[in-house]
């Protein structure tokens, strides 16, 4: 089923209907209940296996066409989005392809977005490490913080070299979505512009 051109989920226990983009039950016994959202990553298999080489794989029945890199052939259709009860913000994939690292913030949380152009993967990480907030740059596809010059793996958020070696950037909850679908459900969303970088 579709609701406002967006996929509808149904739980087997109560038959309540859920909006996948809101994570909320829209009808049924659980009406108004919200699901807990956890950090996730939408990427291709090659990228995932590079990050997590010992991953096991679940083979599920295919109900639609295969998900391949060609899915992102028109980057202007996609955003990486964050929201809370009061506000939401998106970073458009077509902009991220031109500016593959963004130091920004959402709801007072300093964050960095690193966009891998080969796989069209957006990594969203907190910039807080212990009691400091870092800012980052890319140099030859290596993530480097401006404060200590430490080098970081953007995919895992772990410092791999330098003063902060071994420290970890926390992954943040963000959603990859079709731009039109997200804006339909969150019409007051802030759209990131280059001038807004922190």
| pLDDT computed for residue 65 by the predictor | 63
Q: In this structure, are residues 189 and 175 in contact, taking their beta carbons and an 8 Å threshold?
A: no
pLDDT exceeds 80 at position 3: no
| pLDDT computed for residue 67 by the predictor | 67
Among candidate residues 26, 46, 24, 27, the one with its CA nearest the CA of residue 35: 24
Separation between Cα atoms, residue 164 and residue 122, nearest integer Å: 23
Among candidate residues 109, 73, 79, 108, the one with its CA nearest the CA of residue 92: 79
pLDDT exceeds 60 at position 138: yes
Query: Which of 1 and 40 is assigned the larger pLDDT?
Result: 40
pLDDT exceeds 70 at position 198: no
Burial class (CB in 10 A: 0-12, 13-18, 19+), 25: buried
Average the pLDDT over each of 63-67, 98-102, 123-127, 138-142 and give the range with the smallest value.
63-67
Query: Which of 51 and 173 is assigned the larger pLDDT?
Result: 173
| pLDDT computed for residue 20 by the predictor | 82
Separation between Cα atoms, residue 148 and residue 7, nearest integer Å: 45
**Which residues is 151 bridged to in the sheet?**
144, 161
């Amino acid at each position: 089923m579709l609701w406002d051109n967006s996929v509808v989920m149904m739980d087997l226990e109560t038959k309540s209907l859920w909006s996948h983009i809101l994570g909320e039950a829209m009808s049924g016994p659980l009406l108004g209940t919200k699901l807990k959202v956890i950090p996730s990553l939408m990427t291709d298999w090659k990228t995932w296996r590079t990050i997590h080489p010992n991953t096991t794989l679940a083979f599920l029945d295919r109900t639609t066409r295969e998900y391949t890199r060609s899915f992102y052939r028109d980057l202007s259709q996609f955003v990486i989005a964050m929201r809370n009860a009061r506000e939401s913000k998106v970073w458009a994939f077509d902009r991220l392809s031109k500016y593959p690292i963004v130091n920004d913030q959402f709801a007072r949380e300093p964050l960095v977005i690193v966009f891998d152009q080969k796989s069209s993967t957006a990594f969203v990480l907190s910039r807080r490490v212990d009691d400091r907030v870092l800012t980052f740059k890319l140099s030859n596809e290596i993530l480097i913080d401006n404060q200590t010059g430490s080098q970081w793996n953007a995919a895992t958020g772990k410092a791999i070299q330098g003063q902060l070696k071994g420290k970890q950037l926390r992954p943040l909850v963000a959603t990859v979505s079709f731009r039109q679908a997200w804006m339909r459900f969150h019409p007051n969303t802030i759209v990131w512009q280059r001038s807004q970088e922190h």
